[in-house]
Amino acid sequence: MKRILVTGGAGFIGSHLCERLLKEGNEVICLDNFFTGSKSKIIDLMGHPYFEWVRHDVTMPYYIEVDEIYNLACPASPVHYQFNAIKTIKTSVLGAINMLGLAKRVKAKILQASTSEVYGDPDIHPQTEDYWGNVNPIGIRSCYDEGKRCAESLFVNYHNQNDVRIKVIRIFNTYGPRMEPNDGRVVSNFIVQALNGNDITIFGDGKQTRSFQYVDDLIEGMIRMMATGDDFTGPVNIGNPDEFTMLELASKIIELTGSNSKIVHLPLPQDDPTQRQPDISLAKEKLNDWQPVVKLEEGLIKTIQYFDQLLKDPK
């Protein structure tokens, strides 16, 4: 049995990770300040004898003896990370420093949940890990983009200077049950609008593309990355290479929900990427032939069922 710390463990992705780690027979400590996470996401885990949750902000040091650390703590949707931009930067940077310091002290292996946003509005397509990105350092998204880029730099330097055992993954658009209905992400936005019979709002002409990964595929990739040898640190893209336009996604959600919603267009936000698609060749090579197995329609059906129930009974 390993003792594993998950920061941001009460969030959308973190709660799924905690659940999977417990199923594999580990002791799990979930750390969250509940800024975007919630107890409702981990309520079913609270009775587990090897699960513990702690209300704590990663911008402050935390002391514990653990074998592994998954550092997920940070608001990840534009609505949330732009709400308090300075807090977002602090969470990424100070959170990385504090968790790396902990890993150094207790000799734990630590994984950083970085993001495809480090590529910005990419000049190459699909994106490979050796691409340095095209990020506006003073734009409205920079608090998140540059915070994550700085965190990656911290991880690499703690590894090079202090021999900390690090793993860095870059997460591409992920969806699934336990997303927040008001988080501003495209999948949750479209589903909630469709279920409520409201217009589906697409920013720009809708021809911009994204690649959508179901949360179970991401969790599998994270587990496999943590299990790799110390000679492989990443970064490695974890995402679904199947690419869809916003119009295609909206049409599919309207079809699956049976909604009468109409599509309306709004101005494109500043620095919104026009293309986003991962090259997962490295993940296939290094993570025991990892690749997504959940197709978009299958994942959307499960996510729609979750939101349908949530909207009927929001408790």
Q: Contact 300/252 with Cβ under 8 angstroms?
A: yes
Domain membership flag for residue 287: yes
Kindly state whether residue 193 falls inside one of the protein's structural domains: no
- SS3 category, 315: coil
One-letter amino acid identity for 270? Q
Residues in a beta bridge with 308: none
pLDDT the model gives residue 154:
98
pLDDT tens figures, 163-175 = 999 999 999 999 9
Q: Is residue 26 part of a domain?
A: yes
Q: Determine the structural domain holding residue 68 and report its residue range.
A: 3-175+213-239+278-293
Helices H / strands E in the chain, number of each: 9, 13
Instruction: Examine residue 251 and state whether it is found in any structural domain, yes or no.
Output: no
pLDDT at 240: 96
Within-domain flag for 204: no
pLDDT digits (tens, 9 = 90+) for 249-283: 999 999 999 999 999 998 877 767 777 899 999 99
**CA–CA distance, 149 with 284 (Å, rounded to integer):** 23
Query: Which active-site residues does the annotation give?
Result: 144
More confident residue, 210 or 298: 298
> Based on the structure, what is the number of domains in the chain?
1
Residue-averaged pLDDT of the chain: 94
Residue range 89-98, pLDDT digits in tens: 999 999 999 9
Tokens found for residue 63: 């002391």
For residue 119, pLDDT over 70 is answered with yes
CB neighbours of 299 closer than 8 A, spacing ≥ 6? Answer: 175, 176, 212, 214
pLDDT confidence band for 177 (50 / 70 / 90): very high
Q: Kindly state whether residue 200 falls inside one of the protein's structural domains.
A: no
Task: Give pLDDT tens digits for 42-97.
Answer: 999 999 999 999 999 999 999 999 999 999 999 887 777 788 899 999 999 999 99
pLDDT band of 157, cuts 50, 70, 90: very high
Distances (CA, A) of 108 to 4, 93, 185: 9, 19, 33
| Separation between Cα atoms, residue 26 and residue 19, nearest integer Å | 10
Q: Specify the 3-state DSSP secondary structure of 169.
A: strand
- Residue 58's CATH number: 3.40.50.720
- What is the reported pLDDT for 204? 87
Residue 257 lies in a domain: no
